[in-house]
Chains A and B, each alone.
Chain A
Amino acid sequence: GAGVSQSPSNKVTEKGKDVELRCDPISGHTALYWYRQSLGQGLEFLIYFQGNSAPDKSGLPSDRFSAERTGGSVSTLTIQRTQQEDSAVYLCASSLRPGVYGYTFGSGTRLTVV
């Protein structure tokens, strides 16, 4: 596609439920990133996929968070047993060649845990 697509754009869930967030990166971009942005805060790194390499999961805040990337394209971020502190905007970004080209961010998924 022309840009990075994320779905859903908004998600309201009850505490304790599981949620799945989807990211469809720009075609041909080998690098894919997930970031989290709480209200009025900065961009918190979560996880990074590069080609067929093992993902860098060093930013995941707990084992309730996991992500996968299928076929080097679409990625899904899963949050199990959601907590209120998980409420934030989850941003996905992709890049053609990290370190040389910039990231293109999607519009994000606003997650609200009630």
Chain B
Amino acid sequence: QQPVQSPQAVILREGEDAVINCSSSKALYSVHWYRQKHGEAPVFLMILLKGGEQKGHEKISASFNEKKQQSSLYLTASQLSYSGTYFCGPSVGSQGNLIFGKGTKLSVKP
């Protein structure tokens, strides 16, 4: 029931790109993405609704393939501030709670 995120961890140099994947065993209505920095609360990045849309936020974008029940988060030209743990949270309906993945720890080094 919990979505599967991959990779579990990734280390980047500033300016490098990364992709974080999220797969669900259930048909999805939407997918949320959040970033949590150490010692802080998760912060909402974006939500993708079914329809295969792709959204962007700064140099962070995401795609959602409802047929494959998958979403991917793309981080391009990474910055030090991108470091943190990224969580995906799929939703099976327009109401209800999110069941989050275990998270992907991203570390960006100078």
Contacts and interface: CB of A to CB of B under 8 A. Distances in A.
Contact of A42 (B43, B94, B101): B101
B29 interface: yes
B51 interface: no
Interface in B40-88: 40-47, 49, 87
Contacts of A45: 97-100
A6 B44 CA distance: 18
A48 to B, nearest CB: 4
Given A42-B103, A107-B41, A108-B41, A102 B96 contact: no
A104 B100 CA distance: 15
A54 interface: no
A99 B93 contact: yes
A98 interface: yes
A83 interface: no
Interface residues of B, number: 27
A100 interface: yes
B24 interface: no
A23 interface: no
Interface in B89-110: 89, 91, 93-103
A66 interface: no
B26 to A, nearest CB: 14
- Of A42, A45, A59, most buried by chain B (CB within 10 Å of CB) is A42
A36 B101 CA distance: 13
A25 interface: no
A45 B47 CA distance: 19
Contact of B95 (A43, A98, A104, A108): A98
A106 B97 contact: no
B47 A101 contact: yes
Interface of A: 33, 35, 41-43, 45, 48, 50, 56, 59, 91, 98-108
16 contacts: A42-B101, A42-B103, A43-B42, A43-B87, A45-B97, A45-B100, A50-B95, A98-B94, A98-B97, A99-B91, A101-B47, A103-B98, A105-B41, A106-B41, A107-B40, A108-B41
